[in-house]
Amino acid sequence: MFKKFSQLGRAFMLPIAILPAAGLLLGLGGALTNEAAVKAYPWLAMDWLQTILKIMNFAGNAVFSNIALIFAVGLAVGLANGDKGTAGLSGAVAFLVYTATIAGLIQLFSPKGTTIDTGVVGSIVIGGMVSFLHNRYRKIELPQFLGFFGGSRFIPIITSFAAIFIGAIFFMIWPPIQSQLVIAGHAIAKMGSIGTFFYGFLLRLLGAVGLHHTIYPLFWYTSLGGTASVAGHTVVGAQNIFFAQLADPNHIGLFTYGTRFFAGRFATMMFGLPAAALAMYHSLPKKNRKKDGGLYLSGGLTSFLTGITEPLEYTFLFVAPWLYVIHAFLDGLSFYFADILNIRIGNSFSGGFIDYLLFGVLQGKDKTNWPTVIWFGLIWAVIYYVVFRFCISKFHVAIPGMNDDDDDSSSSESSADKNSSLHEQSNQIINALGGAENIQSVEACATRLRIAVDDNKKVDKKVLKDLGATAVLDVSGGLQAVYGGKADLYSQEINGILGTDK
C-alpha cells in the first residue's frame, strides 16, 4: 500500500513541477499589468513592455486553466511502466473524450446552465485508468487482420472507449458528490483557523514519507479548497481561485480565503527552518563546524529561497522523529497564525522567497498583507532557533557532525565519489542496491529516489550516504534515498543503465 501511494505521489510531482514556471509568468504578468502597478511605476506603461507582460500573463493562465488535462497526462505518464509517450498521448485523448462525453450528456439531458466540474478527481480517475490499461495491454497481439491496431496503438483506442464509460458514470454520480464537496468545503471553512492548523500539521507530517502529494491537490484543485465566482466564472479549488483572481485586473481587496492553505508556509520555510539550521550549526562541536556546517547553510538557504525543505529536514528526521513531530506541530501553528493575521499570499509550488516576492510583495499589501510575514517570520525564527537548540543540546540529538568520532576517511571517500561522473555514481548506486537483479524500479520525486527492490538486506546504505544521500529510509518493498536536486538525474541515468527507460 505504501508503494502504491508513494508511486502516486511521485506521479503527481510531474504535473506539479510545471506550475512554478507557469506561476512565474502569471505572477509577473498579473502583478505588472494591473492598473495600480502602472500608476505606481509609470515606466511600466510602455506599450512594448505591457505587450510582453500581458502575453506572459496569458501564457501562465493557460497552464492553470488546463490543469485538469495536465494532471491526467502527467499521471498517465508517471504511473506507466514503459512506453511513456504512448501513455501520455492516451491520457490526453482519454481526458478530452471524457470531458466531451460529460458535456454532451449535459446538453442532451440536463437543464440549461448545469455545469459539472470534476477537477483533479476526474484527472486521477482518467490518469489511473489509462496507466492501468496501458501497463496491461501495451504489448497485446491482435488477430492478423487487426494487427496494425495491436501493441501500443491499441492503448488510445481502448482508453477512449473506457473514457466514454467513465464520463457517463461521472455524469450520473458527480452532481451529488459535487454538492457534498461544496458542503465539505464550507464545513472546513466553518472550522476556521483550527481547521487550517490541522491541514498544515498533517501536511507536514505526511511529508516525512513523501505522501503529502496525495493530500494537498484535493484542497488546491477541488471544492474542498473553496468555490468562488471570479470575473463571471465559477472557480473551484484554492489555487485555481487564487490564480483566477490574480489574472483578473478588476479584483480588489484581499485575495481569497483559500490562501490559508498556502500562507502558513512562508514563515516556516523562509524563517523557521533557516533558524533551525543555524541552531543545528551552533549545536555542533566547534571543531566540526567548518567541515559539516555547509550542509546546514545550504539546507537553510534552499528552504529560504525555494521552499524545498527536505535536505534540511532529513538531517534530523531519522535520528529524532519526535523532533520532526514538533516541527510539524510548529508548521501547523504557522498556518494557524497566518490565517488569523489575514496573510493572503498564494503560491505556485512552495513557500520560499521567490513565491513570496511574486505572489506577495508584487501583488501589493492591499491584496496580500505581505508585510505581516516579515515581523511574524522574525518571531517564528526565534521560536524555531530556541526549540531546536534546546532539543538538540538537551537530548544530544545525533545530527550530522554532532559526533566527535566522525569518520574522516569516509568523508574523504564520499568527496571522491561525488566528484566522479554521473554515470559512475549511478553505477555505484546500482551496486549499492544489490545489483541490477535486485532492483525492481527506480523513480524520482523532487528530492528523493524512490526505489523498489527484491531484498532490502542486500542494500548498502553506507555507500548510498557516501554518494551524497542525506538520508535513506526503509519502506515496505524498497527504500527512499534523499539526493536533493540530483535525484531526477540519478533516476534517468540509472534507468538508462538498466534499460528500463524505454
Neighbours of 136 (CB within 10 A): 12
Q: Identify whether the C-beta of residue 498 lies closer than 8 Å to the C-beta of residue 430.
A: yes
| Alpha carbon distance 51, 393 (integer Å) | 56
The H or E element containing residue 479 is strand 478-482
Q: Length of the chain in residues, anyone?
A: 502
CB contact set of 42 (below 8 Å; sequence gap of 6+): none
391 is catalytic: no
**Percentages of the chain per state (helix, strand, coil), in multiples of 5:** 70, 5, 20
Residue whose C-alpha cell reads 540529538 in the numeric block: 397
Neighbours of 43 (CB within 10 A): 7
* Cα dihedral across residues 312, 10, 352, 223: positive or negative: negative
Q: Which residue in 62, 466, 452, 460 sits closest to 244, CA to CA? A: 62
The one catalytic residue among 89, 230, 397, 445: 445
Q: Identify whether the C-beta of residue 212 lies closer than 8 Å to the C-beta of residue 331.
A: no
* DSSP-assigned states of every residue in 176-204: HHHHHHHHHHHHHHHHTHHHHHHHHHHHH
Q: Which residue in 460, 462, 461, 442 sits closest to 451, CA to CA? A: 442
Range list of H helices, 396-477: 408-418, 422-432, 461-466
| Alpha carbon distance 399, 315 (integer Å) | 6
| Alpha carbon distance 203, 335 (integer Å) | 11
C-alpha grid cell, residue 224: 474542498
| Alpha carbon distance 69, 120 (integer Å) | 9
* Cα dihedral across residues 54, 259, 8, 269: positive or negative: positive
Residue whose C-alpha cell reads 468555490 in the numeric block: 227
**Across-strand partners of 234?**
229
**Across-strand partners of 482?**
448
Q: Identify whether the C-beta of residue 466 lies closer than 8 Å to the C-beta of residue 414.
A: yes
**Across-strand partners of 474?**
479
Q: Identify whether the C-beta of residue 228 lies closer than 8 Å to the C-beta of residue 182.
A: no
CB-based contacts of 303-306 (< 8 A; 24+ apart in sequence): 303/269, 303/270, 303/273, 303/274, 303/277, 303/352, 304/269, 304/270, 304/273, 304/274, 304/352, 304/353, 305/352, 305/353, 305/354, 306/350, 306/352, 306/354
Catalytic residue numbers, as ranges: 445
